Amino acid sequence: YADTCDALASYADAAKKQEILKDPHCGAFALIRVCTYFVAYFALCASLEMDRKALWCLGLGFVLERALSGWAVATFPIAKNT
């Protein structure tokens, strides 16, 4: 997620974005977006009343995340030509 955010926020050409994705260092845009994600997730968890229904929804959210990730890998176009 962080590398993708960094590459998309660069507004560079496709070759430069590929170089950013290969770079192991964390960029500023990646850090900003990951911190924002964690703050939003913490706010969501803090605002929920932790009962059985809320725990089920949070648990099913992780399952849905993984399923949508697999679907995205199978259907989205490949960024590289190889």
Tens of pLDDT, residue by residue over 5-52, are 888 888 888 888 888 888 888 888 999 999 999 999 899 888 888 899
User: Which one, of 24, 29, 28, lies nearest residue 9 by Cα?
Assistant: 29
Identify residue 19 by its one-letter amino acid code: E
pLDDT at 82 over 70: no
The string of DSSP codes covering 22-34 is H--S--HHHHHHH
User: Using the 8-state DSSP alphabet, how is residue 76 labeled?
Assistant: S
